[in-house]
Amino acid sequence: MTSTATFLTTGQPGLPGLPADSSEAQRDAAWQQLLATGDPAPALAQVTGRFSVAWRQPSGRTVLATDRFGIEPLCYRIVGHELRFATRADDLAGDDADLDPQALFDYLYFHVIPSPRTVFRNIFRLPPGHVAIFERGELRVTPYWTPSFKADPAPKFEDLKDEFKQILERSVQRQLRGGDAACFLSGGTDSSTVAGMLSRVAGRPADTYSIGFEAEGYDEMAFARIAAKHFGARHHEYYVTPKDLVAGIAKVASHYDQPFGNSSALPAYYCARKAHDDGVRHLLAGDGGDELFGGNTRYAKQTVFSWYGRIPGPARELLLQPAFNSPLGKLPLLKKGASYIDQARVPMPDRLQSYNLLTRLGMTDVLESDFLRRVDPLGPQKQQRQVWNAIKTGQLVDKMLAFDWRYTLADTDLPKVVGTTGLAGTSVGFPMLDDELLAFSERLPADYKLRGLKLRWFFKEALKGFLPAEIIVKKKQGFGLPFGVWATRDAQLNALAADSLGSLATRGIVRPAFIDSLLTQRLREHPGYYGEMVWILMMLEQWLRAKRPNYRV
């Protein structure tokens, strides 16, 4: 979409008072009526589904909005007295926009570039659930929707269980678009649930697509087969190889409008391409279930750290901290206790980045000093604190869920799936992010999501008998990529990584000495751990080659 348009809509919105079968002209008219009001936020909060909308009115007033999860992206920049917009940042950038060093730093920190920043200087991406109004030379960007957690005061499990299953079925039905669809199937609870519900609402066996890896500890095809057999699905498998990575890395990297380092993008692409080759044009994905119902291990881990705050202050400060910080704290039996206290004392959300790869490796060891002088190393933490503090709930697990709706879903997982399915020639729907299901999650008690330290307790209990028992008790995995292992064993993949990082070393971002040690020593010592850093650096270089080949700091 070019930046010269005056009106733009994407997605499948549910507009208040407008039937689902309305014509495009009727939808456009409804949008313009909604956006013409002085404050469109209250009306936008009633719009359901995935969407982005932008309208430059004849007066010059311009209004932009995107859905609650930012599934349909919208970017903007101010040019003179005009706010220009497009669905991709690179459509606004042209060939002359400078890259933003802070955005490159954010990429190395998060492995993606979170909104509102983009890789291009002075070009921004509208955060999910936000509206932007540009009028008389001033821009205001504010949320039109914020999560509201109001748990049922007297929850009845059986009633909630029945309601939940009915909502799940309706959510899948809404994503079918009135036609056939297939679905991703990783073998986890979410994708298995979608596969089962798809078979139910379609009245026929679902077509399911799974990715496997010939690498120990990475392949979970066995669970996908269990789910497919349980629901009588027509199951399709594709095993990704190092050769596939060599063939697909540059293609996937250059498809995005800015650097994108989520390594599961490659498996997702090959899975979608397999479906497309079989004639599938619409896929359903299970993304969002963990973030709506408490399925990520960090929710339990951070709950354990939060217990430290319940200990009376004098006991912490006068007894525990001095004891564990003393020489005795170095003893093997006490060392874990000292580590626990050190982490527990870090406030949220900073504690979530305790194992951040860039900070663990040492920023001054990884990055060129001139590049570091151009950025704020604390910028990512400052932004995350603002988002965290804006979430209004007293329950830690709910706060982490809402935080993940922004960073895990809107900035990482959804762009991955939308981008790679688009590259493969298919569209994608997200039943787990249906508005009705989101509202159900918001009123589900916190201890239904995390019961003690049991992840997604309600979800699993409610679906006993529907999902295979093996799926309910399995550990979360997903489409993890054994890149580091393969990069040490496959000559072509290793050569591609070495060539990419060698070029990146000349751009003034990453220190050549670090790249040399990463490739010649560290990767071989710990392929799984250091392979992640090799991957994000390689994907950055591949994007730069395609979009800004002459870039230097």
> Which tokens belong to 10?
């994407």
Q: Which residues contact 447 (CB under 8 A, 6 or more apart)?
A: 457
Q: What is the mean pLDDT of residues 294-323?
A: 87
- Asked if pLDDT for residue 478 goes beyond 60, the answer is no
Give the orientation angle of helix 491-504 with respect to helix 527-547, to 10 degrees: 60
pLDDT, position 4: 62
Q: Taking the C-alpha atoms of 24, 25, 27 and 29 in order, what is their torsion angle to the nearest 10 degrees?
A: 160
Task: Examine the pLDDT at 152 and tell me if it is beyond 90.
Answer: no
Among 427, 390, 394, residue whose Cα is nearest residue 405: 390
Whether residue 3 has pLDDT greater than 70: no
Q: Is 59 exposed, middle or buried (0-12, 13-18, 19+ CB in 10 A)?
A: exposed
Reported as a pLDDT band with limits 50, 70 and 90, residue 314 is: confident
Please write the tens of the pLDDT for every residue from 528-539.
999 999 999 999
Cα distances (angstroms) measured from residue 444 to each of 430, 459, 539: 20, 11, 39
Domains of the chain, with CATH numbers? 7-143 (3.60.20.10), 483-547 (no CATH)
Q: Is 47 left (phi over 0), alpha (psi -120 to 50) or beta?
A: beta
Higher pLDDT, 177 or 246: 246
Per-residue pLDDT tens digits for 434-458:
999 999 999 999 999 999 999 999 9
Note the pLDDT of residue 181.
Answer: 87
**Can you tell me whether residue 139 is helix, strand or coil?**
strand
Task: Quote the CA–CA distance of 420 and 262 in Å, as a whole number.
Answer: 11
Tokens of 263: 């390594």
Closest CA to 349 of 274, 418, 298: 298
Angle between helical axes of 157-175 and 435-442 (0-180°, round to 10): 160
Q: Tell me the CB-side half-sphere exposure of residue 243, using CA atoms within 13 A.
A: 1
Q: Beta partners for 236? A: 209
Question: For the segment 332-365, what is each residue's pLDDT rounded down to a tens digit?
Answer: 767 788 888 889 999 999 999 999 999 999 999 9
**Rounded distance between C-alpha atoms, residue 33 and residue 471, angstroms:** 47
Calculate mean pLDDT across residues 266-274: 97
**Inter-axis angle of helices 414-424 and 265-277, nearest 10:** 40
CB of 444 within 8 A of CB of 293? Answer: yes
Q: How far apart are the first and last CA of the chain?
A: 29
Phi-psi region of 125 (alpha: psi -120 to 50; beta: other; left: phi over 0): beta
Give 289: exposed, middle or buried? Use CB within 10 Å, 0-12, 13-18, 19+.
buried
Predicted model pTM: 0.95
| Whether 441 contacts 293, CB under 8 Å | yes
pLDDT at 539: 98
